Structure 1
Amino acid sequence: MKKYCYAFAAVTLLFTACSKDDDNVTPENPSAIASSRLDFVEVSGSAHGDHFHDLAEKTGAKDSTAIVFNSNGEAQDGHLHLDPHKVYRIQFRQFNSAGQELQQQYLTSKAVADSFKVFLSGGNLVLNPATGTAENGALFQPREQAYGDGTAVNGKYETTGLLAYFTLGEANSSVEADMSYVVRKFNDATTKATIERTDWNYTDYATRYAGTDVVKLTFELHAEDHE
């Protein structure tokens, strides 16, 4: 009888434990980041000072590549090779485990987007304004046109950088560098309006602009003439 009593007690405890465990199961957070991606697609355009002229989509053959990152922001597919003579459209995408895109959460309205800005840090790049009339340096220009609520993004101080245009420029034709694509959230929403177009490549951006990196994607960038 004692053996039966012990067995019954053990089974009762097992089911009770399972029941408690089941009670603690919660649905996955749909805003949790599972992976990210940066798409680089060649476009037409020319660098001029701190911005581009004549940006337009290219037809026919064009360079196109993407880097996929895990939930920790680590590149999963090797180095990024970009032709320093070409201009690329960069599109940032962020996904949850169901494959749903999350990046628009940073641009739902001006009030939300005012707290965010993208930096492309690293590489000790020669920036385009520093090359004078040669106009052959690196240039990164955020270029969103509208917020998620449909209102227009007005001027350079409002752009964020989830959509941006980039060139390495011939002045950086031998670059092999560790880079970071960073979406930073500022402690003070008025900070964004102080950031100029030439402020995108600072390695000390975190000291200059108080806040938190909500996204940091790290990868190796190699300049390579594809032609």
Structure 2
Amino acid sequence: MRFTGLRRAIHALVMGPPGSGKGTVSTRIRRDFDMHHISSGDLLRSGIMNNAKHATMAKEYIDTGKLVPDGVMVSLVLSQLKNIPSYTSWVLDGFPRTLFQAESLYHGERIDTVINLDVPFDTIMERLSGRWTHLSSGRVYNEGFNPPHKPGFDDLTGEPLVQRDDDKPETIHQRQKTYVEQTQPLLDFFEEKLLLHSFSGTETDTIYPHILEYLKTLHKTQEKSEKF
């Protein structure tokens, strides 16, 4: 069942460490609430392929192994959000990743809720170390719970899959450390704004029903507020 018909759109963020299931959760939210889904990673990939201004700027940093500057990422995401009609609900994942990005987003767009996925590191390690990606589309497979039909090859194109450098064990440890260091200030920021809602667990199928019920409640609250 889809929960649609809001006169006031809902704007939601999904946060969590790499491998916590942000993309899967966001896709289910899009499905169940008819919300527009924006992934910062997808924006970069599609923008680079289409030579979009901000994404092309980001590519220069990615190609040299550098972090994309906050200003470039903020411009890329906010320009995308500005193109979404005001009556359309959206869910954003993969952004923000720094306090500067969070503050810029908060002051540039209305945010209704921030969903934080609290997944243990051991679970994330297991997920990511078995993850394989079809680079041109961004489709992701996992040896443990979402394997391709033919090992090592994409289901739709038959092209080879690769294990990205950032999905290798030594890199996962560093990414986790960096995420914790960078993200705690963001969580504190959104908690101070009374927007943060954390959901803990080791499986998306276990976590998501709680997120679903929470968003149903938020949906109903929005409906009531529109009547007054």
- Per the normalisation by structure 1, the TM-score is 0.24
Q: Comparing both structures, which one devotes a greater share of its residues to strand?
A: 1
Instruction: Using structure 2 for the length normalisation, give the TM-score.
Output: 0.24
Larger-Rg structure: 1
